[in-house]
Amino acid sequence: MMEDILPNLYKIELPLPKNPLKSINCYVIKGKDRNLIIDTGMNRPECKEVLFPALKELAIDLERTDLFVTHLHADHFGLTGDLATDTSKCYIGQADAAIVKGVRHWGEFLHVFVENGFPESVLKESLSKHPGVIYSPSRLVEITPVDDGQIIEVGDFELECIETPGHSPGHMCLYDAKKKLFFSGDHILFDITPNISYWPEMKDALRSYLASLDKVIKLEVTRVLPAHRKPWHNHLERIDALKTHHRHRLDECIVALQDGDMTAYEVAPYITWKIEYSDWEQFPIAQKFFAVGETIAHLHYLETDGAIRRYTEEGQVYFALA
């Protein structure tokens, strides 16, 4: 489904079947000399079957088109290999670019999640089905890292790169001050909340995310274009709601640890997850992976604040009230 947002700005909604996200918004800016595609969808047939006919309808010449990826997750980065040409630039934030250019050792995640209580056999099965593995780009294109404050001009759009680490180490938003337009990626979503998970590259992912929310409060915005679900206009109201959401989640972690010392995997069932499954045991493996990652991030935040402490016993990481 394609929608006109502003003159020369279009939103193409790409389906993500059997995924709680449901879809991803791919934005296309047409310029006189160059075009820009913001986020690409997963490397799966369902995304291609919608995206490429829409680009044809818009008369987008990929030889004159650059890509901007808000962050490295497969639903944003997956089709870069199919879209990029020899003349394309593929922009992504510095920290995420370093991860993409390097070799992502999934074994590092496996080790951390196992020591946080995730059953190893279940985790290996989860990683084999992880979207980041099965829907990754068909090839790794040449990356053009961007810095906070860098300007990308496309037609009459003047887009400032706003670094907003949290959802990923190098998450980048785009802001057009004249048009008061904010491409929020997965930093600010309105119908769902962004997953804030454990990353080896971030000591305290949740603290980074909350600081990134504060960073964009000052922006004068009349239209927010997120990567998932519906666009909206009031980012300040949503920022308050997101902060409250994470405060409640931190409180749930504290309540869980009142029952005794626990691993992150054991704390996770105490958290209220917005998912159709009410019982933890019914959660699909991939959703358990995301839930435990987010639980680790919240426990690390509480540890930094001194509310809880962490210790290791027989290869397992436990958390306890301070």
pLDDT digits (tens, 9 = 90+) for 21-61: 999 999 999 999 999 999 999 999 999 999 999 999 999 99
Alpha-carbon distance of 264 to 217, in angstroms, equals 31
Q: What pLDDT band is residue 106 in, cutting at 50, 70 and 90?
A: low
Domains of the chain and CATH, by start: 2-321 (3.60.15.10)
pTM of the model: 0.95
Residue 132 pLDDT more than 80?
no
Distance of CA 273 to the CA centre of its chain: 17
What local confidence, expressed as pLDDT, does residue 104 receive? 58
Alpha-carbon distance of 95 to 305, in angstroms, equals 25
pLDDT digits (tens, 9 = 90+) for 270-305: 999 988 777 888 888 888 989 999 999 999 999 999
Alpha-carbon distance of 56 to 31, in angstroms, equals 15
Report the candidate in 89, 35, 27 with the shortest Cα–Cα distance to residue 65.
35
Q: What SS3 state is found at 127? A: helix
What local confidence, expressed as pLDDT, does residue 202 receive? 93
Strand order in the sheet with 157-163: 151-154, 157-163, 172-176, 181-185, 223-226
What local confidence, expressed as pLDDT, does residue 103 receive? 60
The letter for the amino acid at 196 is: I
What local confidence, expressed as pLDDT, does residue 159 receive? 98
